Amino acid sequence: MDSKLTPQEFEVSKITNNLIKKSPVVWFLWKKKYNWPVEFVSDNVETVFGYTKDDFMSEKVMYSEIIHPDDIQRVQKEVISQSKTGTSSIIHEPYRIITKTGEIKWLNDITLIRRNKNNEITHYEGIVIDIVEQYNREKSLKESERKYKVLSEQFRLMSDNIPDLVWSKDLDGNFTFVNKAVCEKLLIAKDTQEPIGKKDMYFAIRQRKLYPDRKDWHTFGEVCINSDEVVLKTKKPQRFDEYGNVKGKFMFLDVYKAPIFDNTGKIIGTVGHGRIVTKEKEAEKQLQKQNKEYEILNKKYIAQNKELEIAKEKAEESNRLKSAFLANMSHEIRTPMNSILGFAQLLKDPSLKPESKNQFIDIINNSANHLLNLINDIIDISKIDANQMNVIENECKLNEFLFEIYQFFHSEVSRKKGQLKIVFKKGLADGNDVIKTDTTRLRQILINLIGNAVKFTHEGLIEVKYTLTKDKQLLFSIKDTGIGIHKKDLTVIFERFRQSEEASTRKYGGTGLGLAISKACVELLDGKIWVESQHKKGSTFYFTIPYKKGTTPKLEKKITIDKSADLFEGKTILVVEDDIHSTLLLEIILKPTKATILNAKDGFEAIEVCKKNANIHIILMDIQLPKLDGLKTAKEVKKILPHVPIISQTANAMHQDKQKSLDAGCVDYITKPINKKELLQKIAKYML
């Protein structure tokens, strides 16, 4: 076998050697001999094998000796088997060599089989490539592929086994990943592959189409802001509240979204995570609602507490006022009682001069009237509380009516030794002054207010006047130059038992009821009451009542009784009365009239007397009677003597009692304490 290359072949080899000198490819020309001695090798052999060109070409190093012992047999087999087939090249499976430094390197080897004219193999010529780097690269690629596969499998496993929603999208909003929860709970997709490359609206629309009649079936993607856009714009991770209906049920998602960047910093999509917090949100809502309710309750409690505090203060105040009232009351009762009892005793003195006697009687009378007024006030307050103050309107000539009251006070004021004057100014001309009102209440108001003016004014002027205002109100004013009222007391004095500081000292007396009663009466008449005052300068009390024009009142049969002597001679009067003192009083009053007096101590007795005496001219009937009360008795008596007038006499000044006695058949009533003049006038009115 000729082992030498022809000169041309050698020349080609040299050129090839020059060409590959700088590449990682080493070119070998092996002799077809035992151990594959090298006839030629490219200059760069040392970079791969560590051995020099000379080491090989001087045959110090034989090629088969540097092949890894584990690979040599396989390589030899490949050479032999390929050589036998007559092919011209052998592509070896990569094999290992051991370099001069002992390092193991993997090589790729492509060998051409050279033959002579007789087709005998003379040489092997091959390119050997160090595949360490490529191998490593491929290896690490495979490794990272394996790792990636493991990781993505793990991630899929993890994300498909959590209740939260996890997904990623590209820049156009197409899903690039979704977990099971997204498919099942939000998109209603077949599996985790279906959404890939599609947008969430695709699934929303698909759901809506399934239930066209139910607008609330799937509302996700409609009601909330486009959070993907927000994240892409801001390039920052963010949290969003996203909500809507899925399969007709409300769902609230707590969503975190973040942008995905590639390794150049460019945004390539978004990742998202959503937690279903519907229950929590509902609980939160409930809690907020409850909190609000608690807040309202709290405010209510605070207000209630305040109210309670005010009520407590009021209760304490009213307690204090009641104590003051009781003290006042005791004083107001004891003072006149003291006069009544004291002077009554003095009256017994036989040596008493007639002037003193008259003076004492006046004092007793005044004190008794004072007591009566006090009792009336207390009854009025009870009536106000019981809502039993009624309005009974009657026609009234206002000027005449006011003048009477004025006159009453005029005489009282004159007694203040001329330091005080009272004037009355009318607001309507006589004849034009007829009005309709409850004169009892109007009188009560005026007497209270003028009475106060007189009480609290020592000198100067009291002016009582009234005018008709444009809005058809009668505006009354009582102006005085008295002690005046502190500003702080201006409103409280209208409350019961309230008196200003000065007045509450014992100097003026009083119970603090007058203004409260007056206010109630004014309001009952549909009017208003107020006061203007300057301390130490004087006060003006105003009140209004609606102006109701009246017609001239019918003239009442007025009987003037100058003296009672022989007034009722020939007449018989039945006095029905259980109280012996009251009976005695009536007898004493009636005795000078020369009337025949019959007595009955209870209802049954009265009926008996009536049955026996048909000539009774009038009956004075007490209401509170033992056995059969006055009202029932009156009804029975009316059956026996239907034409005999009955006048009830009652200690109850309540309006109902008067009305009840009229209903029972009485013609009139007279209240106790009996006023002699009034009694005689009334008897005369109905009997004569």
> In whole angstroms, how close is the CB of 309 to ligand ADP at the nearest point?
27
Instruction: Examine residue 529 and tell whether it contacts ligand ADP (CB under 6 A).
Output: no
Distances in whole angstroms, Cα of residue 157 to Cα of each of 152, 160, 161, 162: 8, 5, 6, 9
> In whole angstroms, how close is the CB of 358 to ligand ADP at the nearest point?
29
CB nearer to ligand ADP: give 159 or 500.
500
Instruction: Examine residue 515 and tell whether it contacts ligand ADP (CB under 6 A).
Output: yes
Radius of gyration of the chain (CA): 65
> In whole angstroms, how close is the CB of 482 to ligand ADP at the nearest point?
5
CB nearer to ligand ADP: give 95 or 541.
541
How far apart CA 133 and CA 129 sit, in angstroms, is: 10
CB nearer to ligand ADP: give 113 or 516.
516
CB nearer to ligand ADP: give 510 or 527.
510
CB nearer to ligand ADP: give 231 or 453.
453
How far apart CA 568 and CA 8 sit, in angstroms, is: 187
> In whole angstroms, how close is the CB of 537 to ligand ADP at the nearest point?
10
Instruction: Examine residue 456 and tell whether it contacts ligand ADP (CB under 6 A).
Output: yes
Nearest to 678 by CA among 688, 668, 665: 668
Exposed / middle / buried, residue 491 (Cβ in 10 Å: 0-12, 13-18, 19+): exposed
Tell me which stretch binds ligand ADP (CB under 6 A): 400-408, 430-438, 480-488, 645-653. 480-488
Instruction: Examine residue 28 and tell whether it contacts ligand ADP (CB under 6 A).
Output: no
126, 482, 630, 645: residue in contact with ligand ADP (rule CB under 6 A): 482
How far apart CA 249 and CA 263 sit, in angstroms, is: 42
Instruction: Examine residue 477 and tell whether it contacts ligand ADP (CB under 6 A).
Output: no
> In whole angstroms, how close is the CB of 516 to ligand ADP at the nearest point?
6
Q: At what angle do helices 655-663 and 630-640 cross, to 10 degrees?
A: 20
CB nearer to ligand ADP: give 259 or 514.
514
DSSP string, 560-628: --S--TTTTTT-EEEEE-S-HHHHHHHHHHHGGGT-EEEEESSHHHHHHHHHH-TT--EEEEESS-SSS
Q: Point out which residues pair with 114 in neighbouring strands.
A: 123
Tell me which stretch binds ligand ADP (CB under 6 A): 195-203, 393-401, 481-489, 645-653. 481-489
Tell me which stretch binds ligand ADP (CB under 6 A): 52-60, 245-253, 419-427, 446-454. 446-454
DSSP string, 210-272: H-TT-TTS--TTTSS--HHHHHHHH-S-EEEEEEEEETTEEEEEEEEEEEEE-TTS-EEEEEE
485-514 positions binding ligand ADP, by CB under 6 A = 485, 493, 499-500, 503, 510-514
How far apart CA 331 and CA 511 sit, in angstroms, is: 9
CB nearer to ligand ADP: give 515 or 600.
515
Distances in whole angstroms, Cα of residue 5 to Cα of each of 27, 262, 310: 15, 58, 129
Tell me the pairing of strands 572-576 and 618-622. Answer: parallel
Q: Count residues contacting ligand ADP (CB under 6 A)?
A: 21
CB nearer to ligand ADP: give 188 or 378.
378
CB nearer to ligand ADP: give 388 or 505.
505
Instruction: Examine residue 453 and tell whether it contacts ligand ADP (CB under 6 A).
Output: yes
Instruction: Examine residue 483 and tell whether it contacts ligand ADP (CB under 6 A).
Output: yes
How far apart CA 654 and CA 11 sit, in angstroms, is: 155
Q: Using CB positions, name the residue nearest to ligand ADP.
A: 510
Longest CA span, the chain: 196
What single letter denotes the amino acid at residue 244?
Answer: G
CA atoms within 13 A on the CB side of 589: 19
How far apart CA 440 and CA 447 sit, in angstroms, is: 11
CB nearer to ligand ADP: give 124 or 543.
543
315-334 positions binding ligand ADP, by CB under 6 A = none
> In whole angstroms, how close is the CB of 512 to ligand ADP at the nearest point?
4
CB nearer to ligand ADP: give 519 or 658.
519
Contact of 616 with 570, CB cutoff 8 Å: no
Tell me which stretch binds ligand ADP (CB under 6 A): 54-62, 101-109, 445-453, 463-471. 445-453
Q: Map residues 532-551 to x or -, x wherever contact with ligand ADP holds by CB under 6 A.
A: -------x------------
Residues forming the site for ligand ADP (CB under 6 A): 448, 452-453, 456, 480, 482-485, 493, 499-500, 503, 510-516, 539
